[in-house]
Amino acid sequence: MNSVELLAAAKATSITEDIDEWHGLMKVLLQHLSVLPIPPEIESFLQTAQAYWNGDNALSADDLEGAKLGTWDYLDSFPKGFDLKTREGRTARALLCVTEPEGDIEMRSMTADWFAAMIWNES
């Protein structure tokens, strides 16, 4: 899948679920992340993002920020630049895509590009 297809799926999701396109993109990206092997160190951060984007009212943008910071901590455990050379590091970088609470049209495009590059090595 490439970024154009991700954005098209996000638009369809936003229409179907009557949500904004950023939220639609997050749901599409989470669907793809949910079938990948997730390193145990960041599994809870994926669960936080899933709960947040599925409307768990007990979570706030601060919880999403915590998931982002935890994911960055995990990425910082790799030697500089090495995370991009491993499946685990690329998955963690893809997870960062779903830890931003808001995004405009440019951010949607950049996020879809980055996610596709991390997961499918495409842009």
pLDDT in tens, 63-80: 999 999 999 999 999 999
Kindly tell me if the per-residue pLDDT of 81 is higher than 90: no
Domains of the chain, by residue range, sit at: 3-120
Kindly tell me if the per-residue pLDDT of 44 is higher than 80: yes
Judge if pTM exceeds 0.75: yes
Average pLDDT over residues 88-104: 96
Output the DSSP codes for 26-93.
HHHHHHHHTTSPPPGGGHHHHHHHHHHHTT-TT--HHHHHHHHHHHHHHHHTSPTTGGGGSHHHHHHH
Angle, vertex CA 93, rays to CA 90 and CA 95, nearest 5: 110
